Amino acid sequence: MAADMLEKELVQIAVGDSVDSEDNGKSIIMDIQPYEAEATIANFGKSWINIVADRLAELVDSILQQEICQIWLLII
């Protein structure tokens, strides 16, 4: 994924800039928190799907209630 490639490239740049340090950039790598772009995108996707599914369920319930009301009006 492009976001992961960007993250890896940014780490390489940071490490490359700190090669002249005492530990050859190892402390930089330890300090960088991974963003985990794939997991973040997957979570957003799952969240969006759940929201759409909930809205769809509400719509179906509403349509069913309308149908039931119409049937009762025809019976009465």
DSSP 21: S
| pLDDT digits 0-9 by tens, 20-66 | 667 666 666 667 776 777 788 889 999 999 999 999 999 999 999 99
- pTM for the model stands at 0.53
What token pair was written down for 36?
């985990």
- Is residue 40 helix, strand or coil? helix
Between 74 and 56, the more confident residue is 56
Indicate the pLDDT class of residue 4, thresholds 50, 70 and 90.
Answer: confident
